[in-house]
Structure 1
Amino acid sequence: MTSRISILLGALACCCAASSFAQTTSDPNAPKTRAQVRQEFLVWYAAGYDPNDWLGYPDNAIRASRIIAQQRDAQAPKRTQ
């Protein structure tokens, strides 16, 4: 019985490990890699969001999202008509 459980757990571990490999696609709906999530967190943290500040939530998240939006707008290439 325990050998069946260990085989099942091993198979589940292999499936989970195989699905965690990053795929490089240009699909915006594709799952993000760990590095992408960490980079986004660092951007939010630099903009003033602190996930440990429960008393300031959601104000600190809203303020940080506005700062990030302004930074992205400033970095976006200007379109001419």
Structure 2
Amino acid sequence: MKTFISAVAVAAALAAPALSFAQQSDTPLSRAQVRAELVQLEKAGYNPNISDPSYPSNIQAAQARVSAQQLAQTSVQSSDYGSVANGSSQSGRTIGAHSRALGTYFGQ
């Protein structure tokens, strides 16, 4: 029982740094990027100067509008050569049904 507990503890200790690393961003934002994002949010209807108790819902609604605008721009930009092709993938081959049924003890 002690070996199982120690194995779980070692596995958790090894997995913790990998999980915390996944949440880090690649590069920090510059001031210009932060200001550009704030301008986008203000154009979407967010006003940071209003002291409103519903702050989270206001910023989330503005972020949703900005992401919808960016998605619309992306779909317009990617439609220059037609719509995006739907992906499909096949591997292996289909197996047809046998023409004759084989018995349970085939070959005996």
> TM-score band, normalised by the shorter chain?
0.5 to 0.7
TM-score w.r.t. length of structure 2:
0.44
Q: How much has 1:42 moved relative to structure 2?
A: 0.5
How many pairs were matched up? Answer: 54
* Greater per-residue helix proportion: 1
- Percent of aligned pairs sharing the same letter: 35
Residue 52 of structure 1 corresponds to which residue in structure 2?
A: 49
Q: How much has 1:65 moved relative to structure 2?
A: 1.1
TM-score w.r.t. length of structure 1:
0.56
After superposition, where does 1:3-42 map in structure 2 within 5 Å? 29-42=26-39
Considering only CA atoms, is the larger Rg found in Structure 1 or Structure 2? 2
Any stretches of 5+ residues in structure 2 without a counterpart?
1-24, 87-108
C-alpha distance after superposition, 1:41-71 (max 9, x if no partner): 1001111111222314122112101111110
**Greater relative contact order (Cα < 8 A, sep 6+):** 1
The Cα RMSD (Å) is 1.8
Any stretches of 5+ residues in structure 1 without a counterpart?
1-27
* Runs of 4+ displaced beyond 6 Å: none
Distance in 1 separating the partners of 2:45 and 2:57: 10
Q: How much has 1:39 moved relative to structure 2?
A: 0.5
